[in-house]
A and B are shown apart, each in its own frame.
Chain A
């Protein structure tokens, strides 16, 4: 069965500093990996995905994520955090075989302080 772990409930970072939001996954085959962001009282917005190819994936709003197959990780990163990046971030995984059910992590709240 597929699963995703986001080990940190909350990440605190100062504006201008680099940020990392961690995600590890488990699938039986090759993974499709996604990051979504949720702002208060809004739906989830797609940030980026890894399907195949380059292990470093660039997405919206300056975010990027690095796929590491040996460590089964897909950490979200940004070189310089903004206060407006404060939100809830979800990692999700889908197995490429069978029906494409998306399994979400429990979410990590990112708080960027001025």
Chain B
């Protein structure tokens, strides 16, 4: 988890409210990713970023948006939270060669 922090670590929210999760890195890595982890599915990519202001969709991007205004920060926004977005969210980073991804400690989100 060194060099990557996620906030908040736990959050409970209500259906229909917007939620923003933050990932912060101190490694100056170019690539950042957001995944969700659900039982029986492993980790699935939501969105990724290959530079400041450069982002793209992953395999489960519906209902999510991202922003990256600085190298060190990658924000994930649930525009209108639904119960199906209850999950554990992980941020990851990788270096210029993109060979290995390193993960943050995760954010546990419960949508009621």
Contacts and interface: CB of A to CB of B under 8 A. Distances in A.
Tell me what chain B mostly uses at the interface: helix, strand, loop, or mixed: strand
Interface in B80-112: 90, 92, 94, 98-106
Given A42-B105, A43-B105, A44-B90, A32 B42 contact: no
B60 interface: no
B43 A104 contact: yes
A43 B104 contact: yes
B89 to A, nearest CB: 11
Interface of B: 1, 4, 33, 40-45, 48, 58, 90, 92, 94, 98-106
Given A44-B103, A105-B42, 18 more contacts: A36-B103, A42-B1, A42-B105, A43-B90, A43-B103, A43-B104, A43-B105, A44-B90, A44-B92, A45-B103, A46-B102, A100-B98, A100-B99, A101-B45, A101-B58, A102-B33, A106-B41, A106-B42
